[in-house]
A and B are shown apart, each in its own frame.
Chain A
C-alpha cells in the first residue's frame, strides 16, 4: 500500500496512523514459535499464543450492567472460530482472535515474509489468498478493535465506510473464507461494536485531562497549539479530543499516502505506531512530526507531549492474567449460544459452536501436559483429572453435534444438559487443583517452552533427508 499510494506530504495534521487493519487473526494453533519444515505457517512464525496475560475486554453492554445479547455472543464465537476463514488460515487454526486478541491487537505477531515488524502483517500477501496478492510487500499494523464503533471509516486508509462490508472483505477477500451468512456477519458486527475502549480515569469531559501533572498539562497545551508554520493546524485538529481523538478523515502526513487518522484512546497498548508499524514509541512519533511539520519542539516539549499522549492513551487494567477462570468464562460464553441454537433446531450454529469450543478445549487440555512432559515435576494425578474432565466435556459436545446433525434435537438438548452439569459441577475444581502443575504456572510454563526452544535451537538448518 505504501508503494502504490506514495504521495507528497500533506499540510494536514498530525495523524499518527493507527488504523483499523483489514486483518482478522490466527488462534490456538499449538506450540510456537514454529519450526521444522512441516508447518502450515512459515517456520519462525510467532503468534504469542503462549502469553501469560491477555488483553482485557470491556464490553459496552456489561458497562451498562446488561447481559450481552445472543448476537454479541454468537459474534464472539464466530470471531474465535477458524471455520470462518478459508485456505491456509483455516488449516492453521486461524481466527479473527489471533491477530485481535480479545479484540485488542497482537504486538508480538510475526509471520516471516508477511511481517516487517512484530505486530504487523501484509494483508495483501500471497499466503492466505493468492487472489488478494498485490505483489508488494506492504505490511500494515494490526490494530486494536477497542471502540471500533467510533472509528469509521475502516481500513488503515479508511476505504470502507461500513464495518459490516469491511469484515466481510476480510473473511472472503483476504482470508479466502466462504461467504459468511448474513446472520454471522451481523453477529460479528454486533460483537465488535460491543467492544469498548478501556476506561481512562485521567480523561474528563470533552477529552480534557483530569490531572495536576504539570508535564501532562504542558503537553495538552502543545497538543492544542497551532503549528508554527501553519496556524490552521495542530495535533488536536485531527485528533479531536472531544471526538475520541480522531476526525474520521484521511490525511497524508508524508508516511506514504493517505491514511485514516487513528484514535489515541488506549493507544498506549497499541504499539507499533503508524500505518506500517514503523515506530515503537511515542517519542519516535513525536520526533517524526517535529521533523516533517517543523514544529520546533524543544526536548522538554517532546517529553511533555509524550507525557500527554501517555495520559490520554491510558486505560484501566489493560491486561489480565491468562488464568483458568478467564478460559472457562470464555468457553461458558460460547456454550451459551447452544441454549438458543438447539431449541431453534439450528444445526449450522450448533456445529459452529461445537467446532469453536472444541478448539478451545483442546487448547486448554494442552495447558495440562500429559505424563510424558519431563519439564513438570509433579501433579500427575491432578493433571490427569483435569485432562479427563476436559475431554469429557469435549466428547459431550461431539455428541451434541452428532445429534443435531442427525436432526435429533431432543437428544442434543439432553446432551447439552449433561454438558452444563459437568461444566458447572466438576471442571473448575479439577482444573484449579491441577493449576500449580499446568502451563498456567509461570515457572512450569517457562520450563515447558524453554524445552521446546531448546529442541528448536538444535534443529538450526536441519533438513529431513529421507
Chain B
C-alpha cells in the first residue's frame, strides 16, 4: 500500500489524475464497511427508540435516541457530503417537528409525547440512508470534501449549548464527529499522505489528536472555544493542502461533492 501510494503521488504530481483510483478503491471499500456499521447502529437505535416509546418507556427511549445519534454523528463525513437531502430530513435544525431534533425536543421535554408519525419517518429515512451507504459510489474526492467539512463544522462555537442542547449531548456529537474524522483519515488517507508528505501527515494526525484532547472534558462548558476553533481551522487548512498531495483536488467546504 505504502509503495503504491508513493508511486501514485509521484505520478499525480507529474500530472496523472487516474493513478489514485486503485489504492483509494480498496480504502474506500474498507471505509464503507465502517460506514455501514455506524449507519446500522443509527438505524437500530432509531428502531429501539420507536419501540421504547410505543411501550412508553421514556428513560430507555432517551438512551436509544443517544445511541442512534452516535452512529449518525460518526457518519457525518458521508451524510453531509453524499446524501444532503436525507441529511435535511434526519438532522434538520432548528426543527421541533421532525428528525432527530424534532424527537429530541419532545422526548427531553417536561412532558414527553405527541410524536405522531415522526418516529416512523425517522426510521424510514435512516433505512434509506443505510441503503444508500451500501450502494452509493463513494469517491475519494467526495470523502475528502466530507471530512474537511466536518473538520470545519466541529470548530463552530457551542456556547449556546449546541444543536443537541435539550438532550445535553452536543459534546457527544462533537466527540463522535472527531471519531468520524479520525476514522476517515486512518482508513482512507493516512497511508497515502504519509508517503507523499510525511510532515503534512503528522500535521493532520496531530490536529485530530488535539481536537480529541480538547473534547476530553466533562462538560460542554469546559471546551475552550478559541482553541477548538483554531485547531479546527488549522486542520481544514491541512486538509486543503493534502488534496493535491493525494492526487485529488483541493477539498471544498460547500456544495455538491464530486
Q: Which residues of B contact A458 (CB under 8 A)?
A: 96, 105-106, 109, 166
Q: How far is the CB of A454 from chain B (nearest CB, A)?
A: 4
Q: Which residues of A contact B88 (CB under 8 A)?
A: 371-372, 374
Check A464 for interface membership: any CB of B closer than 8 A: yes
How many B residues have CB within 8 A of the partner chain?
53
Q: How far is the CB of B210 from chain A (nearest CB, A)?
A: 14
Check B199 for interface membership: any CB of A closer than 8 A: no
Q: Which residues of B contact A41 (CB under 8 A)?
A: 159
Q: Number of residue pairs across A and B with beta carbons under 8 Å?
A: 149
Q: How far is the CB of B176 from chain A (nearest CB, A)?
A: 15
Q: Scan residues 408-466 of chain A and give those whose CB is less than 8 A from a CB of chain B.
A: 448, 451-452, 454-455, 458-462, 464-466
Q: Which residues of A contact B254 (CB under 8 A)?
A: 384-385, 387-388, 391
Binds B, one of A10-18, A88-96, A147-155: A88-96
A387–B237 touching, CB < 8 Å: no
Q: How far is the CA of A421 from the CA of B234 in the complex (A)?
A: 22
B171–A38 touching, CB < 8 Å: yes
Whose C-beta in chain A lies nearest to the C-beta of B166?
A459
Check B162 for interface membership: any CB of A closer than 8 A: yes
Q: How far is the CB of A78 from chain B (nearest CB, A)?
A: 15
A371–B84 touching, CB < 8 Å: yes
Q: Which residues of A contact B233 (CB under 8 A)?
A: 358, 394-395, 398
A91–B159 touching, CB < 8 Å: yes
Contact of B109 among A82, A93, A373, A462 (CB under 8 A): A462
Binds B, one of A26-34, A134-142, A315-323: A26-34
Q: How far is the CB of A303 from chain B (nearest CB, A)?
A: 44
Q: How far is the CA of A462 from the CA of B164 in the complex (A)?
A: 13
Q: How far is the CB of B215 from chain A (nearest CB, A)?
A: 13
A466–B63 touching, CB < 8 Å: yes
Q: Which residues of A contact B255 (CB under 8 A)?
A: 381, 384-385, 388
Q: How far is the CA of A187 from the CA of B254 in the complex (A)?
A: 38
Q: How far is the CA of A465 from the CA of B63 in the complex (A)?
A: 10
Whose C-beta in chain B lies nearest to the C-beta of A370?
B254
Q: Which residues of B contact A93 (CB under 8 A)?
A: 157, 159, 225
B252–A388 touching, CB < 8 Å: yes
Q: Scan residues 111-164 of chain B and give those whose CB is less than 8 A from a CB of chain A.
A: 152, 156-162
Check A19 for interface membership: any CB of B closer than 8 A: no
A362–B157 touching, CB < 8 Å: yes
Check A211 for interface membership: any CB of B closer than 8 A: no
Check A214 for interface membership: any CB of B closer than 8 A: no
Q: Which residues of A contact B157 (CB under 8 A)?
A: 28-30, 93, 362
Q: How far is the CB of B93 from chain A (nearest CB, A)?
A: 6
Q: How far is the CB of B105 from chain A (nearest CB, A)?
A: 4
Check A276 for interface membership: any CB of B closer than 8 A: no
Q: How far is the CA of A353 from the CA of B72 in the complex (A)?
A: 36
Check A174 for interface membership: any CB of B closer than 8 A: no
Q: How far is the CB of B160 from chain A (nearest CB, A)?
A: 4
Q: How far is the CA of A240 from the CA of B51 in the complex (A)?
A: 74
Binds A, one of B3-11, B15-23, B31-39, B216-224: B216-224
Q: How far is the CB of B17 from chain A (nearest CB, A)?
A: 23
Contact of B159 among A40, A372, A384 (CB under 8 A): A40
Q: If A358-B233, A459-B105 touch, does A90 touch B226 (CB 8 Å cutoff)?
A: yes
Q: Scan residues 26-76 of chain B and give those whose CB is less than 8 A from a CB of chain A.
A: 59, 62-63, 66
Q: Which residues of A contact B93 (CB under 8 A)?
A: 372-373
Check A215 for interface membership: any CB of B closer than 8 A: no
B237–A372 touching, CB < 8 Å: no
Q: How far is the CB of B243 from chain A (nearest CB, A)?
A: 13
Q: If A459-B105, A459-B109 touch, does A39 touch B159 (CB 8 Å cutoff)?
A: yes
Contact of B165 among A38, A362, A387, A466 (CB under 8 A): A38
Q: How far is the CB of A394 from chain B (nearest CB, A)?
A: 7
Check B168 for interface membership: any CB of A closer than 8 A: yes
Q: How far is the CA of A34 from the CA of B158 in the complex (A)?
A: 11
Q: Which residues of B contact A31 (CB under 8 A)?
A: 94, 160
Contact of B219 among A38, A90, A448, A455 (CB under 8 A): A38
Check B14 for interface membership: any CB of A closer than 8 A: no
Check B200 for interface membership: any CB of A closer than 8 A: no
Q: Scan residues 146-203 of chain B and give those whose CB is less than 8 A from a CB of chain A.
A: 152, 156-162, 165-171
Contact of B87 among A92, A372, A385, A388 (CB under 8 A): A372
Q: Which residues of A contact B87 (CB under 8 A)?
A: 371-372
Q: How far is the CA of A29 from the CA of B165 in the complex (A)?
A: 15
Q: How far is the CA of A32 from the CA of B161 in the complex (A)?
A: 10
Q: Which residues of B contact A362 (CB under 8 A)?
A: 156-157, 229
**Most A CB within 10 A of own CB, among B87, B94, B253:** B94
Whose C-beta in chain B lies nearest to the C-beta of A31?
B160
**Most A CB within 10 A of own CB, among B92, B161, B220, B240:** B161
Q: How far is the CA of A381 from the CA of B234 in the complex (A)?
A: 27
Check A36 for interface membership: any CB of B closer than 8 A: yes
- Taking A34-B161, A39-B161, A40-B159 as known contacts, 15 extra A-B pairs with beta carbons closer than 8 A to each other, sorted by chain A number, are A36-B165, A38-B161, A39-B221, A92-B159, A93-B225, A362-B229, A372-B92, A395-B253, A402-B234, A448-B94, A454-B96, A458-B109, A460-B109, A462-B108, A465-B62
16 pairs, CB–CB < 8 Å, chain A vs chain B: A31-B94, A35-B165, A36-B166, A92-B159, A93-B159, A355-B226, A358-B229, A371-B84, A373-B92, A388-B255, A391-B253, A399-B237, A455-B95, A458-B109, A459-B105, A465-B62
Q: Which 10 A-B pairs have the closest CB atoms?
A: A36-B165, A30-B160, A464-B168, A36-B161, A388-B254, A461-B110, A451-B94, A398-B233, A38-B220, A458-B109
